[in-house]
Amino acid sequence: MSFFVRPAVLALAVALALAAPAAAQSPEELKQIAAEFGGPYNDPELQRYVASIGNFLSQASDRPGAAHGFTILDSEIVNAFAVPSGDVFVTRGLIALANSEAELASVLGHEIGHVTAQHAQGRQERSTYGVLGALGAGLIGALIGAPQLGQLGQLGAMAWISSYSREQETEADILGIRFMSRAGYDPRAAAWFLANLEADSSLQSRITGAPRGDAAYTFLSDHPRTADRVQQAIEAARGVTVQDPMLARDIYLQKIDGIVWGNSPDEGVVRNRTFLHPALGFAFTVPEGFRVLNGKTQVQAQGPNGAVVVFDRNPQPFRGSPDAYLARAWASKAQLANLQRFDIGGMPAATATTRARLRDGGMVDLRFVAIAWNEDTFYRFLFVAPAGSISRLDPLFERTARSFRRLSDAEAASLRPLRVRVVTVRAGDTVESLARAMPVENLHKERFLVLNGMPSDYQLKPGDKVKVISER
């Protein structure tokens, strides 16, 4: 018999007064924002290289004396953003996708443009509790005494970033192209990178099987790009004359050779739909169509139709049974129903459900699963479903919970990060042959083409330098 049963309908009227986030100015606030995306990427030389590009662009901006910080974040998500303090963050996922220094400069220039035009301040004032407020992330966190659940989807400290208007995006495009052109970069690189972002977004949708736009949180999520926006960037680039425009492709590929692709084993890795953490010694698999996002303190999986899975560990030790932990510690502020005990892989576990009324009047169903790892450590799944859909989603949630298992020492030792490697094309190499050698699950050719920003009919030539995914 399944341990998942339909929850009782519980009307939980919770009034939350969530203030707009404060400007990210202090070092501690910047550290918290970075932590949302895995913290700074551990490659000092690459950090210095990216900062040098950003500082070069800053001096070519309309405010050359303004102070900016530039940080690479240890996240596979393709994104970049600026905060009101003037600090700019770019993920290693975006750096791996770019194919020249000029392409990265177009992104950094765009973000400096947002800072120059003070777009972030205006956005802040318009937001109350962020994009995920509609999902009740902050509400859920307050309800069960776990404020970190406001970080669902790795958007917690970033939620207010996603409200740029079309006019603001266009202004940042124009400013970014102006700044990169003054610095001597080829302005056409902005359009090339935007087009490749579109291709990457489409590819991610194919990989996950999700409708386009629902597959992942990316640069396009808070910097909406359409075909006409790409065309606008092309037209803007045509109107700018740069003497001996610079791409700096070779030096860029040299600098990023070896950058981690996907997740790092130190924080856990994702292979297909399975999350494995060799250091902590566990693994679990999410349902088909769910996109796994690995954060610093929790793992989230976003599925179709508003379904979300959040996995983490109890922040404070607790000695007692899983049902006691669930009722007295983790979900002590919730009115629980259907509390049940069971086992997962020989480990004691407990589950319960509740329904929450959101601030906007909507409802979500929540399922809690607590698994006793040792005498005072619990691993936890929180399953979130739109109200009324739990009966359909519960079988998927159950499979996810029951897939939780301990890794063998040999399995843990075998996990290594995948990396981007730059190789020189030899006679006889083709797109297909290089793509087939990459250790990815499917769509080998499509992944290779997007990684290198190439059209589908691209023909390699001996001596070309290209990026591949490698286990070495």
Amino acid at position 161, single letter: I
Q: Please state the φ and ψ torsions of residue 330, each to the nearest 5 degrees.
A: -65, -55
Average pLDDT over residues 446-451: 98
Strand 347-357 relative to strand 363-372: parallel, antiparallel, unpaired? antiparallel
Query: Please, what's the b/e burial string for 107-128 (b: 16 or more CB within 10 A of its CB; e: otherwise)?
Result: bbbbbbbbbbbebbeebbeebb
Question: How far is the C-alpha of 130 from the C-alpha of 134, rounded, in Å?
Answer: 8
Given a contact cutoff of 8 angstroms between Cβ atoms, the answer to whether 324 and 343 are in contact is no
Residue 471, classified by CB atoms within 10 Å of its CB into exposed (0-12), middle (13-18) or buried (19+), is: exposed
223 pLDDT band, cuts 50/70/90, is low
Strand-pairing partners, residue 294, are 299
Residue 41, classified by CB atoms within 10 Å of its CB into exposed (0-12), middle (13-18) or buried (19+), is: buried
22 pLDDT band, cuts 50/70/90, is very low
pLDDT digits (tens, 9 = 90+) for 98-110: 999 999 999 999 9
Residue 425, SS3 per DSSP: coil
pLDDT digits (tens, 9 = 90+) for 27-55: 888 888 788 777 899 999 999 999 999 99
Placement of tokens 């591949």 in the chain: 468
Structure token digits, residue 295: 């954060």
Strand-pairing partners, residue 335, are none
Identify each DSSP E strand in 7-97 by its residue range.
70-73, 80-82, 88-91
**Domain map of the chain by residue range?**
39-127+163-261, 269-413, 431-470
Q: Please state the φ and ψ torsions of residue 386, each to the nearest 5 degrees.
A: -55, 145
Q: Please state the φ and ψ torsions of residue 220, each to the nearest 5 degrees.
A: -70, -20
Question: How far is the C-alpha of 231 from the C-alpha of 423, rounded, in Å?
Answer: 32
pLDDT digits (tens, 9 = 90+) for 284-321: 999 988 888 877 778 888 888 788 899 999 999 999 99
Question: How far is the C-alpha of 378 from the C-alpha of 321, rounded, in Å?
Answer: 10
353 pLDDT band, cuts 50/70/90, is very high
Closest C-alpha among 358, 359, 420 to residue 387: 358
222 pLDDT band, cuts 50/70/90, is low
pLDDT digits (tens, 9 = 90+) for 187-218: 999 989 988 998 998 898 887 665 544 434 45
CATH number of 269-413: 3.40.1000.10
Q: Please state the φ and ψ torsions of residue 271, each to the nearest 5 degrees.
A: -120, 110
pLDDT at 265: 73
pLDDT at 94: 96
122 pLDDT band, cuts 50/70/90, is low
Residue 258, SS3 per DSSP: coil
Placement of tokens 């576990």 in the chain: 349
Q: Please state the φ and ψ torsions of residue 131, each to the nearest 5 degrees.
A: -55, -45
Instruction: Tally Cβ neighbours within 10 Å of residue 437.
Output: 14
462 pLDDT band, cuts 50/70/90, is very high
Q: Please state the φ and ψ torsions of residue 12, each to the nearest 5 degrees.
A: -115, 95
pLDDT at 170: 83
Instruction: Write down the mean pLDDT value for the chain.
Output: 81
Given a contact cutoff of 8 angstroms between Cβ atoms, the answer to whether 109 and 175 are in contact is yes
Closest C-alpha among 115, 271, 227, 259 to residue 179: 115
Instruction: Tally Cβ neighbours within 10 Å of residue 457.
Output: 7
Instruction: Tally Cβ neighbours within 10 Å of residue 161.
Output: 23
